[in-house]
Structure 1
Amino acid sequence: MFQSIKYPSDEKKAYELLNKQFKHLIEGEDDLIANLSNASALLNFFLKDINWVGFYLNKNEQLVLGPFQGLPACIRIPLKQGVCGYAARTKKTVIVDDVHCFPGHIACDSQTNSEIVIPMLDQNQNLIGVLDIDSPKLSRFSATDRLYLEEFVTILMSQLKM
Structure 2
Amino acid sequence: MAEDLYIQQGTKEEQYQALLPQIKALIEGEEDLIANLANICGALKEQFNWWWVGFYLVKKDELVLGPFQGPVACTRIKKGRGVCGTAWQLAHTVIVPDVNQFLGHIACSSLSRSEIVVPVFKNEEVVAVLDADSEHLAHYDEVDKQYLEEIVKWINF
Write the letter of the residue equivalent to 1:132: D
Give the equivalent residue in structure 2 for 1:129.
128
CA contact (8 A) 2:7 2:47 kept: no
Match of 2:104 in 1: 104
Q: 1:85 to 1:142 in 2, by over 3 A?
A: same
| Percent of aligned positions that are identical | 46
The CA distance in 1 between the partners of 2:139 and 2:40, in whole Å, is 20
Match of 1:83 in 2: 83
Two-structure CA RMSD over aligned residues (Å): 1.3
> What CA distance in whole angstroms lies between the structure 2 residues aligned with 1:42 and 1:25?
9
**Runs of 4 or more above 6 Å deviation:** none
Look up the match of 1:120.
120
The CA deviation at 1:31 is 1.3
The unaligned stretches of length 5 or more in structure 1 are none
Question: How big is the shift at 1:6?
Answer: 3.5
Alpha-carbon distance between aligned partners in 2 of 1:3 and 1:31, rounded to the nearest angstrom = 19
Return the offset for 1:81. Answer: 0.5
Displacement of 1:4 = 6.1
Higher RCO (C-alpha under 8 Å, 6+ residues apart): 1
How many residues are paired up?
A: 156
CA distance in 1, matches of 2:148, 2:107: 23
TM-score, normalization by structure 2: 0.94
Q: Contact (CA 8 Å) 2:93, 2:119: kept in 1 or not?
A: yes
Q: 1:75 to 1:21 in 2, by over 3 A?
A: same
Residues 91-132 of structure 1, C-alpha deviations (whole Å, 9 max, x = no match): 10000000011011000000001000000001x111111000
